[in-house]
Amino acid sequence: MKKIIVIPGDGVGKEITQAAQLVLTKVSEKFSLDLTFEEHIAGGAAIDAVGVPLPDETLEACRNGDAILFGAVGGKKWDNVDPSIRPEKALLGIRKAMGLYANLRPVKVFDCLAEKSPLKTELVRGVDMIIVRELVGGIYFGERCESEIKNGVEQAWDTEIYSVPEIERISKLAFESAESRRKKVTSVDKANILATSRLWRKTVANLSKNYSDIELDNLYVDNAAMQLALNPKQFDVIVTSNMFGDILSDEAAVITGSIGMMPSASIGELTSFYEPIHGSAPDIAGLGIANPIGTILSAAMLLRYSLKNESAAQSIENAVDKVLADGLRTPDIYDDGTKKVSTEEMAQAIKDRI
Ligand code: NAD
């Protein structure tokens, strides 16, 4: 038996995690996975219920689960709460407690949605990459000073530290991901300026000797940002540090033109965490029109990375391809000539195609 901890969170969270559970239940039957689901609160819902965004009970459940399926947290109602208990603290708390050291974001442009991209259709048709971002190190976690006076002027500083084991751990994940893909890793750094980047580049090159079938390419982050807009099809797996990954993964996400369709995984030492990349979409919460595909594809990643069941993961991805090919669309991706469906109808249609 495998226990999935489901944390709907706020806004559209409930609708989209329910949709993903519907699909996972079908996959569980088909592949005899014996999945069980246990729902817990976090974010604004938890602030309302118990006064904190990440109750101990939720964290304890995460520790005992085989994987975590998350919706989204936040909303206007909690915008003015004390900063120490903001809904987003739930995410940071889980990330820290579970040692989630890698964020994986597939960026795939679905053929029939290529015209939604802000880039030219011919540039994005066929884009299929994954960004592997280091998540618990680098400048976001280094020592910092908010304010000090030096030579009579106020200044602030942050520091970036990366160790060889940290770089090896994230790069290994990138090389392993490339093995079942198009066998190309692009490591992104700023080795012309930063010492951490030079260690990063050297460590990745050393590790690459264990993966002789994988092509390794290095790009400076400024060039990588340009290349993502100029020729995104060249990328298969991108591996990079926390801050560069934060920026590049948002840039890459936007080229798909459909935020509701994008999944993500955060891989941890204790367990792993799966969520769509979008937020709680308060403007459409409760209307039954949120696109559940990002969450459903996150569930596919859960099957791939936590349960190591590639066939089950692919069964979901193929079913998503089929519903799109059959012209079913939630309002966010609707166009003339396609069929508009609700969150629930989309989930049911994907389930029926598994
Ligand atoms: P958002 O991603 O929630 O929404 C941006 C826009 O995209 C909105 O117009 C929304 O309707 C649309 N959208 C998002 N997901 C969609 C879906 N599945 N289907 C159809 N349309 C979708 O970002 P925001 O409006 O900046 O933030 C809203 C709240 O979410 C804030 O409180 C923010 O802090 C929070 N947030 C949470 C997370 C998270 O939990 N991981 C991430 C980002 C933002």
pLDDT digits (tens, 9 = 90+) for 188-207: 999 999 999 999 999 999 99
> What lines the ligand 1 site, CB under 6 Å?
12, 72-75, 88, 91, 259-260, 275, 278-284, 290-291, 294, 332
- Phi, psi values for residue 2, rounded to 5°: -115, 130
The CATH number of whichever domain residue 145 belongs to comes to: 3.40.718.10
- Decide if 109 is inside a domain: no
Chosen domain end from 228, 255, 282: 255
- Decide if 121 is inside a domain: no
Mutate to test the pocket of ligand 1, among 278, 284, 298, 346 (most ligand atoms within 8 A of CB): 278
- Decide if 117 is inside a domain: no
Instruction: Report the number of distinct structural domains present in the chain.
Output: 2
- Decide if 110 is inside a domain: no
Ligand 1 atom closest to Cα of residue 12: 18
Is the domain of 87 the same as that of 136? no
pLDDT range class, residue 345, cuts 50, 70, 90: very high
Is the domain of 150 the same as that of 71? no
Is the domain of 203 the same as that of 303? no
Check whether 333 has a pLDDT greater than 90. Answer: yes
pLDDT range class, residue 45, cuts 50, 70, 90: very high
- Predicted TM-score (pTM) of the model is 0.93
Check whether 138 has a pLDDT greater than 90. Answer: yes
- Angle between helical axes of 310-325 and 13-30 (0-180°, round to 10): 120
pLDDT range class, residue 96, cuts 50, 70, 90: confident
Check whether 3 has a pLDDT greater than 90. Answer: yes
Chosen domain end from 255, 284, 315: 255
Q: State how far the Cα of 26 lies from the Cα of 21, in Å rounded to an integer.
A: 9
Check whether 353 has a pLDDT greater than 90. Answer: yes
Ligand 1 atom closest to Cα of residue 278: 2
Contacts (Cβ under 8 Å, ≥6 apart) of 95: 135, 136, 266, 273
Q: Show the domain range for 134.
A: 128-255
Is the domain of 96 the same as that of 190? no
DSSP state for residue 259 in the 8-state scheme: G
Chosen domain end from 232, 255, 278: 255
Confirm whether 79 is a catalytic residue: no
Is the domain of 312 the same as that of 340? yes
Confirm whether 190 is a catalytic residue: yes
Q: Which contacts qualify for 193-201: CB closer than 8 Å, 24 or more apart?
A: 194/160, 196/138, 196/160, 196/161, 196/162, 196/241, 197/241, 199/162, 199/164, 199/167, 200/162, 200/167, 200/241
